[in-house]
C-alpha cells in the first residue's frame, strides 16, 4: 500500500544500457538508487554495433572497460559501406581520426544479451538495488512533481516507491515517457521498417576489416551485416515504409527474398545457414521510425535513451545516445541532489546537450542518405518525393534544436544547419578521393570537419575517462551554460562566468 512505500533518491525504470548507466553514475555519488526491470536478464535486444565513445568513454568512466574487453566481443575497427554513387564498397577506420588514434581506436560488435548484462551486473556492484521481473505500471505525481512509481513484481504483487527523481529508461515500446508531458514527434524522413535474423557461417571481409560493420544499399533500402563472432552474423534489412508489403507474410521468407535482391549480402551468405533455434532462431520485424519527444524532463522526472528519442540505425548511434544521455542525466541528478545547482539549471543543461547531440547525428544521417540522391533506385527517389526538402530539415532541426523546449533561446538551430549544409558534398568527395587513390579503401571520412563535430562529445568523454580527474575545463555549450565537473559526474559553472 502507499503508506508503506519504500523511499529512494532515484528510481530508474528499465535495465538496458541507458538505465544501468544512469543508475551506476548516480550510485557512484553515494545516492540510494532502485532499478526496476520488467524482464529477467540476460534478455534479447537489437543494436549490436557500438561506437568507440561508448566502449572507451562511458565504459571507462563506469569502471567496466576491462570486463568488456575480457568478454571477447568482436573488435570493430570501422565500417564498410556500399553506399552512394560509388559502385564499389568503401571503408573508414576509427584510427584515421587523430582524435581517436591509439588504443581507443576500436569499438565492439556485441551480443546485447551479454553486453547489457555486464552493465547491469556492474550497477549492482556499485550499490544499485536492481530488481528484475518488476514492471512499472504507473508514474505517481503530487501536484506538478513526479514523486515515484508503482510496479508489479514477479508474483503479481503491487508495490509503490517514492523518489526525488524518476528516470524513464524503458526503451521505445513503453508508454511511461508520456508522463513527462509533451509528445513524441516522428521524423518524416526516417520511417523505416527493419527485418532481421542471424546466420552461421557467413563470409568475413579480409583483415583488418573482418570486424567492420558492412552496410549495403539496395533498391528497397539497405542491409546491415554485423559479425558477432567468427561464425555468427547479425543480418538485417531496413526498408522504407513504402515497401512495407515486402516484410509482410512469413518473416523468414520475407528476409530470404530481400537478401536475394542484394547481391553483396547474398554473396556473403552463400555458404551460411540461418539460425533457427534459440534466441537467435527467430526472424524479427521492428518499426524503426525516428522520433524525438518534445519534452525530455519535468520536475522529478527525466527521459533517457530510446524513451526520449530514437535515430535510424545506419550510423550505430543508438547505444551511444542512450549511454551519453544517461551520463548527462546523472550529472543533472547528482548536482540537483547535492543542492549545488538548481533543478531548472541542471536539467536545462541536460536537455540542451542531449538535443544538440541528437541534432548532430540527425543532420549527419540526412546528408548521408542524401548521397544516394542520384542513385536510380525507387527507395532513394521515394525519399525525395516524400516531400523531403530544406523546409523540413529546418522544421526538424528547430525541433531537435530545442526551439519547442525551455532552452530554445540557447541552442542555435541555424548554426547547426549551416554546419551541415554541404555534408553530402563533403562525404561524396571523401569517397571519390578514395577512388582516386585506388589502393586501400580507407576514407578520410573521420578526418572531415563534419565527422569531427559528430564525434566531439564522444571524444571528450573518452579523454575524461582516460585522464580521470585531470581534465581541462570544457567550454559551456551556450552562454550561461554549465560544464562537467573534473570527475565528470556533476555540473559546475564554467570558469569564464
Ligand atoms: P532498451 O535497450 O530498449 O532497454 C529498455 C529496458 O526497459 C528493457 O530491458 C525493457 O525490458 C525495460 N522496460 C520496458 N518497459 C518497462 C517497464 N514498464 N518497467 C520496467 N522495465 C521496463 N544501436 C546501436 O548502438 N548500434 C546498432 O547497430 C543499432 N542497430 C539497431 C537496429 C534496429 C533495427 C533498431 C530498431 C535499433 C538499433 N539500435 C542500434 C538502437 C538500439 O537498439 C537502442 O538505441 C538501444 O537499445 C537503447 O537502449 P535503452 O537502454 O534506451 O533501451
**For the chain, how many structural domains are there in total?**
2
- Ligand 1: residues whose CB is within 6 Å? 13-19, 36-39, 43, 45-50, 135-136, 169-171, 174, 176, 194, 236, 286, 288, 305-306, 313, 316, 318-320, 322
pLDDT tops 70 at residue 170? yes
Q: What are phi and psi of 138, to 5 degrees?
A: -160, 145
Give residue-wise pLDDT tens across range 127-159.
999 999 999 999 999 999 999 999 999 999 999
Tell me the whole-structure pTM to 2 decimals: 0.87
Angle between helices 318-338 and 17-27 (to 10 degrees): 30
Q: Are residues 73 and 9 in the same domain?
A: yes
Q: What atom in ligand 1 is closest to the CA of residue 135?
A: 19
**Contact call for residues 91 and 441 (beta carbons, < 8 A):** yes
State which H helix or E strand residue 394 sits in.
Answer: helix 390-400
Q: Are residues 198 and 186 in the same domain?
A: no
**Contact call for residues 319 and 47 (beta carbons, < 8 A):** yes
Kindly give, in sequence order, each residue whose CB lies less than 8 Å from that of residue 83, ignoring residues fewer than 6 positions away. Answer: 90, 215, 216, 217, 222, 368, 371, 372
**Domain holding 356: CATH number?**
3.50.50.60
Among the three residues 287, 317, 339, which one is the final residue of a domain in this structure? 287
Q: Which of 154, 296, 318 to mutate to test the pocket of ligand 1 (most atoms within 8 A of CB)?
A: 318
Residue 302: CB atoms within 10 A of its CB come to 32
Q: Are residues 332 and 202 in the same domain?
A: no
User: Alpha carbon of 195 to those of 224, 238, 385: distances in Å?
Assistant: 10, 7, 24
Q: Are residues 213 and 163 in the same domain?
A: no
Which residue has the CA at smallest separation from atom 38 of ligand 1? 47
Average pLDDT along the chain: 82
Q: Are residues 251 and 361 in the same domain?
A: no
**Domain holding 237: CATH number?**
3.30.9.100
Q: Which of 50, 59, 319, 458 to mutate to test the pocket of ligand 1 (most atoms within 8 A of CB)?
A: 319
User: What's the CA gap between 180 and 298, in Å, rounded?
Assistant: 6
Q: Are residues 300 and 221 in the same domain?
A: no
User: Checking phi first, is residue 316 left (phi over 0); if not, alpha (psi -120 to 50) or beta?
Assistant: left
User: Alpha carbon of 330 to those of 24, 129, 326, 410: distances in Å?
Assistant: 9, 16, 6, 21
Q: Are residues 224 and 364 in the same domain?
A: no
Question: How far away, in angstroms, is 306 Cα from ligand 1 center?
Answer: 6
| Lowest pLDDT segment from 119-123, 253-257, 409-413 | 409-413
Q: Which of 24, 35, 42, 47 to mutate to test the pocket of ligand 1 (most atoms within 8 A of CB)?
A: 47
Give residue-wise pLDDT tens across range 229-275.
999 999 999 998 888 888 889 999 999 999 999 999 999 999 999 99
Amino acid at each position: 500500500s502507499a503508506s508503506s512505500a519504500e523511499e529512494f533518491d532515484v528510481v530508474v525504470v528499465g535495465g538496458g544500457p541507458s538505465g544501468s548507466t544512469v543508475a551506476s553514475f548516480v550510485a557512484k555519488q553515494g545516492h540510494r538508487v532502485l532499478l526496476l526491470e520488467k524482464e529477467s536478464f540476460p534478455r534479447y535486444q537489437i543494436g549490436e554495433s557500438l561506437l568507440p565513445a561508448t566502449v572507451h568513454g562511458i565504459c571507462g568512466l563506469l569502471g567496466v572497460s576491462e570486463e568488456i574487453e575480457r568478454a571477447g566481443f568482436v573488435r570493430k575497427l570501422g565500417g564498410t559501406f556500399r553506399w552512394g554513387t560509388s559502385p564499389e564498397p568503401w571503408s573508414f577506420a576509427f584510427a584515421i581520426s587523430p582524435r581517436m588514434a591509439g588504443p581507443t581506436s576500436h569499438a565492439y560488435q556485441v551480443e546485447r544479451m551479454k553486453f547489457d548484462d555486464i552493465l547491469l551486473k556492474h550497477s549492482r556492484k556499485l550499490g544499485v538495488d536492481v530488481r528484475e521481473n518488476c514492471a512499472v505500471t504507473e508514474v505517481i505525481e503530487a501536484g506538478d512533481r513526479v514523486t515515484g512509481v508503482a510496479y508489479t513484481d514477479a508474483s503479481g504483487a503491487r508495490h509503490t516507491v517514492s523518489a526525488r527523481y524518476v528516470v524513464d529508461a524503458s526503451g521505445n515500446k513503453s508508454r511511461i515517457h508520456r508522463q513527462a508531458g509533451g509528445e513524441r514527434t516522428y521524423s518524416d524522413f526516417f520511417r523505416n521498417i527493419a527485418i532481421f535474423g542471424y546466420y552461421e557461417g557467413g563470409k568475413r571481409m579480409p583483415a583488418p576489416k573482418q570486424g567492420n560493420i558492412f552496410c549495403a544499399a539496395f533498391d528497397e533500402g539497405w542491409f546491415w551485416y554485423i559479425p558477432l563472432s567468427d561464425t555468427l552474423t547479425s543480418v538485417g534489412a531496413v526498408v522504407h515504409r513504402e515497401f512495407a508489403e515486402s516484410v509482410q507474410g512469413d518473416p523468414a521468407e520475407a528476409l530470404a527474398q530481400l537478401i536475394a535482391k542484394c547481391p553483396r549480402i547474398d554473396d556473403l551468405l552463400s555458404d551460411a545457414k540461418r539460425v533457427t533455434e534459440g534466441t537467435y532462431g527467430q526472424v524479427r520485424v521492428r518499426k524503426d521510425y525516428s522520433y524525438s519527444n518534445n519534452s525530455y524532463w519535468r520536475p522529478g522526472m527525466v527521459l533517457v535513451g530510446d524513451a526520449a528519442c530514437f535515430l535510424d540505425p545506419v550510423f550505430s548511434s543508438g547505444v551511444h545516445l542512450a549511454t551519453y544521455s544517461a551520463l548527462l542525466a546523472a550529472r543533472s541528478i547528482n548536482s540537483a541532489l547535492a543542492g549545488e545547482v538548481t533543478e531548472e539549471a541542471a536539467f536545462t543543461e541536460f536537455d540542451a546537450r542531449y538535443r544538440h547531440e541528437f541534432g548532430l547525428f540527425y543532420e549527419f544521417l540526412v546528408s548521408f542518405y542524401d548521397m544516394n540522391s542520384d542513385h536510380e533506385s525507387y527507395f532513394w527517389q521515394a525519399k525525395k518525393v516524400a516531400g523531403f526538402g530544406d523546409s523540413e530539415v529546418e522544421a526538424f532541426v528547430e525541433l531537435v534544436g530545442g526551439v519547442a523546449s525551455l532552452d530554445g533561446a540557447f541552442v542555435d538551430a541555424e548554426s547547426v544547419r549551416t554546419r551541415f549544409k554541404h555534408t553530402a558534398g563533403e562525404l561524396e568527395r571523401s569517397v571519390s578521393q578514395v577512388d582516386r587513390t585506388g589502393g586501400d579503401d580507407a576514407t578520410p571520412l573521420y578526418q572531415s570537419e563534419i565527422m569531427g563535430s559528430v564525434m566531439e562529445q564522444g571524444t571528450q568523454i573518452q579523454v575524461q575517462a582516460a585522464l580521470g580527474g585531470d581534465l581541462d575545463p570544457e567550454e559551456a555549450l551556450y552562454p550561461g551554460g554549465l560544464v562537467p565537473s573534473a570527475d565528470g559526474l556533476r555540473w559546475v559553472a564554467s570558469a569564464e562566468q
